[in-house]
Amino acid sequence: MQIDILTLFPQMFQSPFGSGIVKRAIDQKLVGVKIHNIRDYTHDKHHTVDDYPYGGGAGMVLKPEPIFEAVEAIRAAMPHQPAVDGLTVILLTPQGRLFSQQIALELSRYSHLILICGHYEGVDERVSQYLVTDEISIGDYVLSGGELAAMVVADAVLRLVPGVLGSAASPVDDSHATGLLEYPQYTRPPLYREWAVPEVLLSGNHAQIAKWRHEQAIARTRERRPELLEKANLNLRERQLLDKVELNSEGPDSGGR
Ligand code: ADE
């Protein structure tokens, strides 16, 4: 997968993509991430990227020309022009569809994403109408630009690309991957202060452990995000469990907050 990001602040991307899983995936050439400065696609002396809004009002609006030219240059430079359905051009904006694990999975199936970071009071509407194929918001709040949103989207998508998490880890149990929150995790020591790891996890009984984890995922989702259960596609046995299962009694779920 290739992700190209168009931004006015390329330096913001150095640290999130310069460490951890994403950096490793880039180094191993499993994915390519390229940051483009929108200002490089201007032609005037002052490298103007924004202008006053027609009709008046506060703030500035990002001009369409450098954004169109940047996307066209990226497409022209690609060694293989992907099929139309291999590429999607996404504008990060609080007006977009709300990002979710489902959307991350959908985007991970494209071979090429172009992410455009909006700024100021907005982006000329012709970018949305004639260039962009998708608009995404990462939440119902307003950031000072689309950069942090692009990082969130790129990170969530890239870790789903086959091979990126390595063979040992798998995204299938992640919170939200199943429609449920993830079960609680423990590591050594088995007793820390007076807090013990649940007995079943030390039992070596894989069937019992899988059952306990599944019940905990259901109970935790019921406690923290009950609205997710409506969409979670639970079978009859799981629905019955919903009423019965007890949350792991120690820890943050037990009302200690
Ligand atoms: N730009 C500003 N706020 C945003 C948000 N919530 N999501 C995506 N892009 C944004």
| CATH number for the domain that contains residue 183 | 1.10.1270.20
- The Å distance, Cα 21 to ligand 1 centre, comes to 24
Mean pLDDT of 5-9: 98
Q: Which of 162, 111, 154 shows the shortest CA–CA distance to 136?
A: 154
Give 35's Cβ-side CA count (13 Å radius): 19
Mean pLDDT of 32-44: 98
Residues 116, 232 within the same domain: no
Instruction: Give yes or no for residue 206 having a pLDDT over 90.
Output: yes
- For ligand 1, atom 5, name the residue with the nearest CA: 94
From 105, 132, 158, give the residue that closes a domain.
Answer: 158
Query: Does residue 64's CB lie within 6 angstroms of at least one atom of ligand 1?
Result: no
SS3 43: coil
- The Å distance, Cα 149 to ligand 1 centre, comes to 6
- Residues 92, 148, 227, CA angle at the centre, nearest 5°? 75
Closest atom of ligand 1 to 141 CA is: 6
**Torsion angle in degrees (nearest 10) through CA of 71, 35, 115, 133:** 20
Q: Which residue has the tokens 């690309």?
A: 161
Q: Which of 225, 219, 221, 228 shows the shortest CA–CA distance to 246?
A: 219
The pLDDT of residue 79? 73
Is residue 255 included in any domain, yes or no?
no
pLDDT classification of 25: cutoffs 50, 70, 90: very high
Which residue among 7, 61, 90, 93 is best mutated to probe the pocket of ligand 1, counting the most ligand atoms within 8 A of its Cβ?
93
Instruction: Give yes or no for residue 110 having a pLDDT over 70.
Output: yes
Closest atom of ligand 1 to 93 CA is: 9
Q: How far apart are the first and last CA of the chain?
A: 42
Is residue 164 included in any domain, yes or no?
no
Residues 140, 99 within the same domain: yes
- Residues 30, 82, 147, CA angle at the centre, nearest 5°? 60
Residues 119, 149 within the same domain: yes
Pair type for strands 2-7 and 61-62: unpaired
Which residue among 100, 143, 153, 155 is best mutated to probe the pocket of ligand 1, counting the most ligand atoms within 8 A of its Cβ?
143
Q: Which residue has the tokens 């996890």?
A: 201
Q: Is 200 left (phi over 0), alpha (psi -120 to 50) or beta?
A: alpha
Contact between 52 and 60 (Cβ < 8 Å)? yes
Find the domain containing 227 and state its range. 175-250
- The Å distance, Cα 106 to ligand 1 centre, comes to 19
SS3 237: helix
Is residue 166 included in any domain, yes or no?
no
- The Å distance, Cα 202 to ligand 1 centre, comes to 44
From 130, 158, 186, give the residue that closes a domain.
Answer: 158
* Partners of 114 in beta bridges: 4, 89
Query: Does residue 95's CB lie within 6 angstroms of at least one atom of ligand 1?
Result: no
Residues 107, 183 within the same domain: no
- For ligand 1, atom 6, name the residue with the nearest CA: 94
From 158, 191, 219, give the residue that closes a domain.
Answer: 158
pLDDT classification of 173: cutoffs 50, 70, 90: confident
User: C-alpha distances in angstroms, 110 versus 12, 103, 107, 178, 249?
Assistant: 25, 12, 6, 21, 43
Q: Which residues are catalytic?
A: 94, 121, 159, 174
Structurally, the chain folds into a number of domains equal to: 2
The DSSP secondary structure of 91-104, one letter per residue, reads: EEEEEEEEP-HHHH
- For ligand 1, atom 2, name the residue with the nearest CA: 143
Share of the chain above pLDDT 90, in %: 79
- For ligand 1, atom 7, name the residue with the nearest CA: 137
Residues 85, 193 within the same domain: no
Residues in the chain: 257
86-95, 174-183, 217-226, range with the lowest pLDDT: 174-183
SS3 195: strand
